[in-house]
């Protein structure tokens, strides 16, 4: 198991390096730059060049990248050109809201998605099953910003049961914290819940069609015993894959939802930093989201070996 874990961790390092290089390349290929944004439109080329030199932006691209990379691995993500102070401290201030939103949305996605999948299995090929399949297709097809606007109109404007926008930290109490998170979490989780439901249903149906399930049914095994001990257990790998991928997608989807609902998280920080060409902050936010997504997939991969040891041994044979 330790060898398997070590190989998986090592395999992640090249991916992180590629991601960081792409982030850095994209940021430095965007027209304009921090110096132009700081000095304004009336700045002369000499003034821009002087500030670029002070910020170290006049150095060769590869040198800038390597300097940033080595500092990033040491935990130094640079200084914000506009907000002042270390980027690491700024991220800590903004990441709390994003983590809270992602956790609540992830919980809603997993519970709703699995509930729909289980109902579909128990009522397979009935009107209920077909209705759930249709809802899943609609849920995955509608963009999160459209769902956000619909939720705002229904729950905040018409019913007035939830706030329109804003955020309350956990220090103000669980009830206040959740009250401001439920609406954006619902908006971002609907598509992911539909994805989990669709993938989980498909995985369980593949097991349901196996001959040993028919044999167990003919022997009089109860539906719930059959479901828990045979169908669900043998479907765990694709189900965990779906949940893991949805958690990664929630982080990316939070960018739009946080902007709509005025949540001071990484999404809002990223949008503001892009408009100001704050390279250090942009690179740090995208790096955090990318690495988190990679680590989630790594944990999902490791969970495969815990659920099914055959995966672990197959990986050893291939190496």
Per-10-residue mean pLDDT of the chain, 319 residues long, equals: 75 85 82 76 81 83 89 87 86 92 94 95 93 94 90 92 90 92 94 95 91 85 85 89 87 84 91 84 88 85 74 52
Of 246, 270, 243, the C-alpha closest to 98 is 270
Q: Distance (Å, rounded) from C-alpha 139 to C-alpha 193?
A: 8
Q: Is residue 39 part of a domain?
A: no
Is there a domain that residue 128 lies in? Answer: yes
206 falls within a domain: yes
Give pTM, 2 decimals. 0.84
Q: What is the pLDDT of residue 314?
A: 53
Give bridge partners of residue 79 from the DSSP assignment.
86
Euclidean distance between CA atoms 65 and 46, whole angstroms? 24
Q: What is the dihedral of CA 294, 297, 302, 303, to 10 degrees?
A: 150
> Structural domain tally of the chain?
1
DSSP for 249-269 reads HHHHHHHHHHHHHT--SHHHH
Domain extent at residue 215: 95-277
Kindly state whether residue 28 falls inside one of the protein's structural domains.
no
Determine, yes or no, domain membership for 307. no
User: Can you give the pLDDT at residue 192?
Assistant: 94
Question: Would you say residue 46 lies in a domain?
Answer: no
CATH code (residue 259)? 1.10.3720.10
Cα 257 from Cα 255, distance rounded (Å): 6
Task: Report the pLDDT value the prediction gives residue 139, as an integer from 0 to 100.
Answer: 92
The kind and range of the H/E element at 233 are: helix 233-234
φ, ψ dihedrals at 223, nearest 5°: -60, -45
Closest CA to 290 of 8, 24, 5: 24
pLDDT score for 261: 93
Longest CA–CA span in the chain (Å) reads 85
Answer whether residue 80 is part of any domain: no
The answer to the question of residue 18 being in a domain is no
The rounded distance, in Å, linking the Cα atoms of 252 and 257 is: 10
> What pLDDT does 126 receive?
95
């Amino acid at each position: 198991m330790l060898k398997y874990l070590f190989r998986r961790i090592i395999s992640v390092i090249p991916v992180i390096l590629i991601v960081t290089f792409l982030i850095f390349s994209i940021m430095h290929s965007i027209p304009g730059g921090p110096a132009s944004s700081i000095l304004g439109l009336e700045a002369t080329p000499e003034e821009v060049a002087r500030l670029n030199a002070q910020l170290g932006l006049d150095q060769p691209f590869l040198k800038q990248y390597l300097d940033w990379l080595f500092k990033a691995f040491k935990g130094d993500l640079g200084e914000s050109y506009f907000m002042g102070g270390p980027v690491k401290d700024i991220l800590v201030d903004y990441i709390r809201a994003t983590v809270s939103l992602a956790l609540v949305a992830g919980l809603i996605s997993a519970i709703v998605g699995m509930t729909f999948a289980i109902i579909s299995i128990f009522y397979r090929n009935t009107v209920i099953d077909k209705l759930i399949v249709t809802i899943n297709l609609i849920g995955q097809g509608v963009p999160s910003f459209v769902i956000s606007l619909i939720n705002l109109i229904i729950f905040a404007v018409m019913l007035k049961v939830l706030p329109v926008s804003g955020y309350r930290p956990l220090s103000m109490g669980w009830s206040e914290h959740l009250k401001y998170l439920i609406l954006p979490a619902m908006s971002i989780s609907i598509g992911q819940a539909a994805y989990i439901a669709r993938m989980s249903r498909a995985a369980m149906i593949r097991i349901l069609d196996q001959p040993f399930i028919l044999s167990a049914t003919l022997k009089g095994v109860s539906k719930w015993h059959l479901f828990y001990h045979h169908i669900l257990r043998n479907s765990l790998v694709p189900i965990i894959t779906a949940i893991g991928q949805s958690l990664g997608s929630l982080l990316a989807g939070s960018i739009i939802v946080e902007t709509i609902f005025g949540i001071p998280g990484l999404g809002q920080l990223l949008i503001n930093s892009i408009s100001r060409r704050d390279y250090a902050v942009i690179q740090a936010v995208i790096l955090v989201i990318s690495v988190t997504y990679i680590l989630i997939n790594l944990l999902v991969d490791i969970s495969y070996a815990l659920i099914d040891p055959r995966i672990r041994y197959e990986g050893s044979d291939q190496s």
